[in-house]
Amino acid sequence: MGTKTILVTGGAGYIGSHTVLQLLQEGFSVVVVDNLDNSSEVAVRRVEELAGDAGKNLVFHQADLRDREALNKIFASTRFDAVIHFAGLKAVGESVQKPLSYYDNNLIGTITLLEVMAAHGCKSLVFSSSATVYGWPIQVPCTEEFPLIAANPYGRTKLIIEDICRDIRKASSDWKIMLLRYFNPIGAHPSGHIGEDPHGIPNNLMPYIQQVAVGRRPSLTVFGTDYNTNDGTGVRDYIHVVDLADGHIAALQKLFQDPNIGCEVYNLGTGKGTSVLEMVAAFEKAYGKKIPLVMAARRSGDAEIVYASTMKAERELNWRAKYGIDEMCRDQWNWARKNPWGYGSPESES
């Protein structure tokens, strides 16, 4: 598929940077658009270095998706074969506090992108959706046909964008769209040069554990010890970010090769559930020391057990996750140990 050019929105972010690296390694040309709201240009430069010779096929624009003029210029200068759309705000708690920011950024950003794509005749899209659309699932594993629910403004933006995609495809059959529902991406590139570096206090489990390990936080608070699970803590489907990035290459391949793709949805997970305490134990094995824990009440809005059915992605994308939680924790710790302050420094801590 050598010479195709892909626009990656949010390509400086956690999942975006890993996907951009894999795209370059697979021979794609990549243009990244990111406003660096939750990321650093250092990530883009490290991807360029890791890609070696293929790094020359990467172009970065610092721009906001809601800036229609900037987007129009980018589309006018390059013909894109497809867009992978990661850009958006993703912190659930913050979305409850600041719903308008989430609707503005995620919805207006996406609508502007879709309009500019259509105006320039690029109608192939891969979109980052989330397992959050399954809420507290009626049973597990979650299949793509499960009922969908929005438990908070962040989740609602994902549902609305999924619906917008289904609607535009109904209205115009030349759109080809892949909606990818990620479960819990963790880990980092095995080089330890790129990884997750959230601004502020981490909301998610692994970035929090990582910051305890490097001494930036005193202990991990375990949210809920009375769930109906083996050890009482919540169960999730953790997936190595490199596997997730591979899932995007598989989705693109399907998009380019299957003339009958309309608007299709796929879970990207491992199909395996792991509890909070099991994750802590796996991380401690990689880290070689204990993580101090504080047991606490459930976090509002959390589900008990969530993991994916991976059958549809395996069957139709010919993709499945390769890595287990030991490799995820090994690579998470490798990234943390080499970059205790992420892409920043102690002074840049907020």
Catalogue the active-site residues: 154
Binding track over 118-157 against ligand NAD, x by CB under 6 A: ----------x-x---------------------------
In this structure, which amino acid lies at residue 243? D
Please identify, using beta-carbon distances, which residue of 11 and 277 lies nearer to ligand NAD. 11
Which amino acid is it at 242? V
Q: Which residue is nearest to ligand NAD (CB)?
A: 13
Cβ-contact 24, 58 below 8 angstroms: yes
> Nearer to ligand NAD by C-beta: 16 or 187?
16
User: Smaller CB distance to ligand NAD: residue 89 or 325?
Assistant: 89
**Across the strands, what pairs with 29?**
5
Nearest residue to ligand UD1, by Cβ distance, number only:
234
Beta bridge partners of 31: 7, 59
Nearest distance from C-beta of residue 207 to ligand UD1, angstroms:
8
Closest residue by Cα to residue 198 from 83, 23, 323, 336: 336
Which single residue is written with the structure tokens 């919805």? 107
The sign of the dihedral angle between the CA atoms of 278, 284, 287, 288 is negative
Q: Which range binds ligand NAD by CB under 6 A, 165-173, 181-189, 252-260, 273-281?
A: 181-189
State the minimum distance, in angstroms, from the CB of residue 279 to ligand UD1: 7
Beta-bridge mates of residue 58: 30
Three-state secondary structure call for residue 140: coil
Enumerate residues 6+ apart whose C-beta is below 8 A from 123.
117, 172, 174, 175, 176
Shortest reach from residue 303's CB to ligand NAD, in Å: 14
34 in contact with ligand NAD (CB under 6 A)? yes
10 binds ligand NAD (CB under 6 A): yes
Q: Which residues bind ligand UD1 (CB under 6 A)?
A: 90, 92, 130, 132, 155, 184, 203-205, 208, 220-224, 234, 236, 276, 299, 301-302
- Report the SS3 class of residue 253: helix
- To ligand UD1, the closest distance from the beta carbon of 123 in angstroms equals 27
Place of tokens 């240009």: 41
In the beta sheet, which residues pair with residue 128? 180
Minimum Å gap between C-beta 137 and ligand UD1 is 12
Residue with tokens 């933006």: 157
Nearer to ligand NAD, 94 or 278 (CB): 94
Enter the tokens of residue 344.
């920043």
Q: Which residues in this chain contact ligand NAD in the complex, by CB under 6 A?
A: 10, 12-16, 33-39, 64-66, 86-90, 105, 109, 128, 130, 182, 184-185, 204
